[in-house]
């Protein structure tokens, strides 16, 4: 039976006072050729300062609605390129959160960094104002690939930035990589993984490129300047990365993420576990008490808004069926899968009865496996995760 059709369903989400905070910085130095993120490369210092001032207002406004009884245990400053901001503005943003929310002593505070925008002194400054985790958008260690992607840094600069972060005292560093790129060879991707492992970051994210129509990289492929990768090569790259990371002591804990023991991204785990989070800034998403809401994507509207509520462009109250389906497909992104007991405690429903026909189909096609109390994607299911998720939407 599809989720949400039972009128009797009991929504019994476990109450958890922990709260994640996401802050979006929609500015970049130069637009990458594959990028569809909400970010602008044509703004000046004045516009960025105005944006930071409005962020502070939003943090103050939303804190009045949502801070009571909550402890913030993760803050993630993402973008765009947060490290385009001066340290004083990053300080302003973090200080605004601390002044309005109760923040746990051991909160994970991540900032995304473009290797082309930082040096050791800057990284040390960002650490001094509170960041304790840094996530580098490296994407590749191959200079030809970086050029094709329109990145502003070289491979050497990425390594230097990583070393600078370690020298500045960061004990928790992530490297983002992309595979499945036009003209990328399996050998070049293996080199990216090898170089990453040589640096020994605490966490590695490896994303499969989604070639989007409105990007210059898409035009390169359509015009024949670059050749798209076949699905077989793409999957070969994915599994070779998983194997290499696992052999090197990383736990492959989510479809596109691996971490050394104890170093999983606590913030991102909130998304896959349906824990509450508040988003601030342009286009930022929030999920609070079963309600999803999203801020406007128009910067002029965001800057003009007279209250944090006016910054929100839409609200949606999840139905019990929405909650179940999101719990399933987000939870299945984690390689340890979802717990049937947890599902039943959370929703008051027996998963195997509710989804009997879907389960029979997916297990027979070897896309899902049931291992005691756990339901998880198989190796084939990792390749065809969207096929599985569609069954639960
Ligand atoms: S740095 Fe990131 S957000 Fe900025 S243009 Fe490149 S991919 Fe997009």
- Give the domain CATH number at 93: 3.20.20.70
pLDDT score at 16? 64
Q: Whose CA is nearest to atom 5 of ligand 1?
A: 31
d(CA 45, CA 58): 20
What does the pLDDT look like over 70-88, one tens digit per residue?
Answer: 999 999 999 999 999 999 9
- Give the percent of the chain with pLDDT over 70: 96
**207 within ligand 1 shell (Cβ under 6 A):** no
pLDDT score at 14? 47
Which mutation among 30, 33, 34, 35 tests ligand 1's pocket best, with the greatest number of atoms within 8 A of CB? 35
The whole-model pTM stands at 0.93
Residue showing tokens 């896309």: 367
In a domain, 343, yes or no: no
**Which atom of ligand 1 is found nearest the CA of 28?**
4
Question: How far from each other are the two terminal CA atoms of the chain, in whole angstroms?
Answer: 11
In a domain, 322, yes or no: no
**325 within ligand 1 shell (Cβ under 6 A):** no
In a domain, 329, yes or no: no
pLDDT score at 372? 92
In a domain, 41, yes or no: yes
265 and 253 in contact (C-beta within 8 Å)?
Answer: no
What does the pLDDT look like over 213-226, one tens digit per residue?
Answer: 999 999 999 999 99
CA distances from 314 to 284, 297, 298, 310, 360 (A): 11, 11, 13, 10, 37
**295 within ligand 1 shell (Cβ under 6 A):** no
d(CA 228, CA 231): 9
State the pLDDT confidence band at 362, using cuts at 50, 70 and 90: very high
In a domain, 372, yes or no: no
Three-state SS at 313: strand
Domain count, the chain: 1
Q: Is the pLDDT of residue 193 over 80?
A: yes
| CA 68–ligand 1 middle distance (angstroms) | 35
62 and 27 in contact (C-beta within 8 Å)?
Answer: no
| CA 137–ligand 1 middle distance (angstroms) | 8
Which mutation among 29, 31, 83, 217 tests ligand 1's pocket best, with the greatest number of atoms within 8 A of CB? 31
Q: Whose CA is nearest to atom 8 of ligand 1?
A: 35
Rounded mean pLDDT, 319-342: 95
In a domain, 70, yes or no: yes
Q: Tell me the residue range of the domain where 53 lies.
A: 18-271
State the pLDDT confidence band at 42, using cuts at 50, 70 and 90: confident
**Which atom of ligand 1 is found nearest the CA of 80?**
3
């Amino acid at each position: 039976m599809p989720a949400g059709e039972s009128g009797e369903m009991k929504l019994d989400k476990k109450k958890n006072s922990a709260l994640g905070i996401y802050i979006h910085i929609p500015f970049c130095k130069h637009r990458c050729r594959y990028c569809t993120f909400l970010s602008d490369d044509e703004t000046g210092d004045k516009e960025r300062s105005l944006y930071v001032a409005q962020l502070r207002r939003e943090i103050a406004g939303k804190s009045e609605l949502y801070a009571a009884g909550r402890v913030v245990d993760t803050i993630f400053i993402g973008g765009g390129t947060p490290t385009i901001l001066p340290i004083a503005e990053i300080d302003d943003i973090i200080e605004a959160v601390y002044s309005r929310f109760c923040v746990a002593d051991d909160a994970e505070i991540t900032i995304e960094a473009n290797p082309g925008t930082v040096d050791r002194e800057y990284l040390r400054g960002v650490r001094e104002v509170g960041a304790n985790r840094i996530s580098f958008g490296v994407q590749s260690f191959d200079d030809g690939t970086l050029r094709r992607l329109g990145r502003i840094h070289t491979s050497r600069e990425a390594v230097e930035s990583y070393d600078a972060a370690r020298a500045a005292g960061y004990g928790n560093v992530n490297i983002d990589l992309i595979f499945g790129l036009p003209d990328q060879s399996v050998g070049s991707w293996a080199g990216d993984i090898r170089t990453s492992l040589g640096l020994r970051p605490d966490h590695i994210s490896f994303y499969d490129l989604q070639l989007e129509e409105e990007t210059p990289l898409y035009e390169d492929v359509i015009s024949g300047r670059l050749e798209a990768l076949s699905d077989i090569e793409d999957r070969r790259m994915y599994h070779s990365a998983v194997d290499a990371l696992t052999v090197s002591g990383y736990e492959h804990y989510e479809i596109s993420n691996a971490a050394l023991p104890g170093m999983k991204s606590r913030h991102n785990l909130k998304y896959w576990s349906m824990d509450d989070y508040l988003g601030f800034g342009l286009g930022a998403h929030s999920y609070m008490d079963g309600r999803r809401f999203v801020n406007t994507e128009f910067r002029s509207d965001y800057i003009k808004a007279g209250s944090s509520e006016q910054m929100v462009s839409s609200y949606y109250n999840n139905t019990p069926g929405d909650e179940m389906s999101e719990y399933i497909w987000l939870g299945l992104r984690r390689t340890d899968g979802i717990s049937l007991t947890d599902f039943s405690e959370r929703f008051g429903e027996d998963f195997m009865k509710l989804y009997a026909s879907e389960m029979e189909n997916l297990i027979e096609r070897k896309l899902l496996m049931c291992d005691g109390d756990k339901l998880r994607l198989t190796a084939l299911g990792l390749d065809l995760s969207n096929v599985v998720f569609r069954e639960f939407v």
